A and B are shown apart, each in its own frame.
Chain A
Amino acid sequence: MNKEKKENFYCSKILLVEGLGDKSFFEKFLSHLNLKEISVIKIKGKTENLFKASIENVFDNINTQGKKLESLIFIRDSDNDDIKNYFKDIKKIFEEEFKKIFEDYNYKFSEKPNEISNYNNLKTGIFFINSNLEDLCLKSIEDKKLLENINNFIENNSDKTGWKDKSKKYLATYLATKEKIKFAYEPGSATQREIINFDSLVFEELKDFLIQAFQ
């Protein structure tokens, strides 16, 4: 069991992400964009049941603090899934769970991926990162020579990282060149060590989406 200090969502603006690495990344990114008072919550999204239970927890937590929700945003990797259908499924779960808990709340969720809906003072949106967050971080790296060397290193050495995902493997190796740390392998670690350049153009679409959602 997790014995860390438990957290409530103290803010009326909620950003949902998958995993601790993404949570650290977005906390840093939001702070870089000077967007404040946003709770970044990590949820479980691997199966529909776990996702549903996570969303129910999110809404319950808001409801049992007597809060009025201002923004509800979910950002996840697209992982080359069929985004159109995936968006439809996620939106349906959001709407069903929302209705269950906030019976009287008049709302309307965004109709398309990567778009913000602003209805009755509630902003909603689901953003799919093209491929995944690791890939986006890699694209932001300007030292192309180093990336090439990493590529050669990975191609010519047996894999000891355990990562199946190619982007994760690349990013982990890249981060290992930056600092002598054992587990600097994810976007969260990178942002904590200020290795990622948030001003890179690759983050532009994500940046616009976040500003629209939370400003």
Chain B
Amino acid sequence: MYEEIKIENFRGIKSLELKDFKKVNLFVGKNNCGKTSILEAIFWSLNPLDINIPVSLGIFRNFHGSEALEISNFFKRFETSLKSFFYRLEDNKISISSKIFGNKEKIEIEPYYGEENILDLNILSKKGKFQSKEVIKGLKFNFPLKNIDFKVFIKNENNNYSFVIDPLDLNSDIKNITTYKGRYLNDEISKIGDAIKEFSDLLNNKKEEDLFKLLREIEPSLEDILITENSNLLVNLSGIKKRLPFEIMGDGFKRIFRIAVFPINDNKTLKNGGVLLIDEIENGLHYSIQKLVWEFLIKLAKENNFQIFATTHSLDCIQALMEIGTQDSDDIRVYKLFKTEEDLFKTATYNKTKLNIALDEMNLEIR
């Protein structure tokens, strides 16, 4: 169980501490108050040795966009996305302390500007976007509790880019570091391409029926979904002679498909102690089916023993979560976040009783 986190100098968060996480944790608050950054910090802290995570986090935020198809553009944008990890784009050390399964963990991350950065400067200064100090080459990691340091950076030789880990013989130290399992879902990462791969596995393992059952709640005539040789999805609806392309289905149908296919299939990263992170869980979902989605995810989380962290702006989504009659109502927590002008956080924590009183009796605005 991921129990608590303290985040410093990460994204828009100067300092924030959250404790007493439960099986299902929902973060609410105004735009730009740091909800997504909390999910990102949790995700990073689960497996800080995974050097793909800084890249993934840039992709989640759509830093790379369509320009990233060209490799040199990808790296230019990647440098910008590295800078964006740091609070106010300054050089203060990021620190993420956590307690996971009773273990205290801590990572510290600093910008790495490189020993010599002439090559990159030539490329980037053409657009006049960066001064020399501002060109981040990579990140310096430190694990103070384990006494391990290493750097991950981009090397550019004649426009041939590569990731470098320094020191290269880090492997022996890495063995001493425990890492945890997590899966991050948002609109970017759960685009249909990835979902098709997961769905293919689901079909191979004959586990598609749970997904279909959920999808039938919004499309009762659904019979099945198939994958073509060209990796396209075709939907079979009763009463329609031809199979329909997946793309013409409604947004809610497609969104549920994406949200559900990953956790159903994902025994590797979620089963027995994993963490599922879902940004803006309500996106594209009509309020009437949000309860179904929560019920589905919570049932799956209980069966496979994983934890859920999600964000939302939607009151319907909060209410849907609270309406679920879980046997143990203490499994659910809602965290309201408020960021002051000084970038400090005020938080309020709600269990089911307190939230029901706030919403039903006192008619409070808690989003």
Residue on A nearest B348 in the bound complex, by CB: A60
Q: Check: A7 CB closer than 8 A to any chain B CB.
A: yes
Q: Is the CB of B363 within 8 A of A4?
A: yes
Residue on A nearest B341 in the bound complex, by CB: A66
Determine how close the nearest CB of chain A comes to the CB of B38; give it in whole angstroms. 15
Given contacts A61-B348, A64-B338, A66-B340, contact A56 B360 (CB under 8 A): no
Determine how close the nearest CB of chain B comes to the CB of A93; give it in whole angstroms. 14
Q: Check: B319 CB closer than 8 A to any chain A CB.
A: yes
The secondary-structure label for the interface of chain A is mixed
Q: Check: A35 CB closer than 8 A to any chain B CB.
A: no
Cβ < 8 Å to A, chain B residues 325-367: 336-338, 340-341, 346-348, 353-354, 357-367
Q: What count of chain B residues pass the 8 Å CB interface test?
A: 24
Chain A residues within 8 Å of B347, by CB: 64
Cβ < 8 Å to B, chain A residues 34-57: 41-44, 49-50, 53-54, 56-57
Given contacts A64-B346, A64-B347, contact A8 B365 (CB under 8 A): yes
Over the window 188-215 of chain A, the binary record of Cβ atoms lying under 8 Å from chain B Cβ atoms (1 yes, 0 no) is 0000000000000000000000000000
Chain B residues within 8 Å of A64, by CB: 336-338, 346-348
Q: Is the CB of B365 within 8 A of A57?
A: no
Q: Is the CB of B364 within 8 A of A6?
A: yes
Chain A residues within 8 Å of B366, by CB: 6, 61
CA separation between A61 and B340, bound complex, in Å? 14
Chain A residues within 8 Å of B354, by CB: 53, 56-57
Given contacts A1-B323, A6-B315, A57-B358, contact A65 B338 (CB under 8 A): yes
CA separation between A151 and B348, bound complex, in Å? 50
- Within 8 Å by CB of B362, from A1, A43, A66, lies A43
Determine how close the nearest CB of chain B comes to the CB of A18; give it in whole angstroms. 10
Q: Is the CB of A44 within 8 A of B363?
A: no
Between A and B, 22 residue pairs with Cβ closer than 8 Å are A1-B323, A1-B360, A2-B360, A4-B363, A6-B363, A8-B364, A8-B365, A42-B362, A49-B353, A50-B353, A54-B362, A56-B354, A57-B358, A60-B348, A61-B358, A61-B366, A63-B338, A63-B346, A63-B348, A64-B336, A65-B338, A66-B340
Q: Which residues of A contact B (CB under 8 A)?
A: 1-2, 4, 6-8, 41-44, 49-50, 53-54, 56-58, 60-61, 63-66
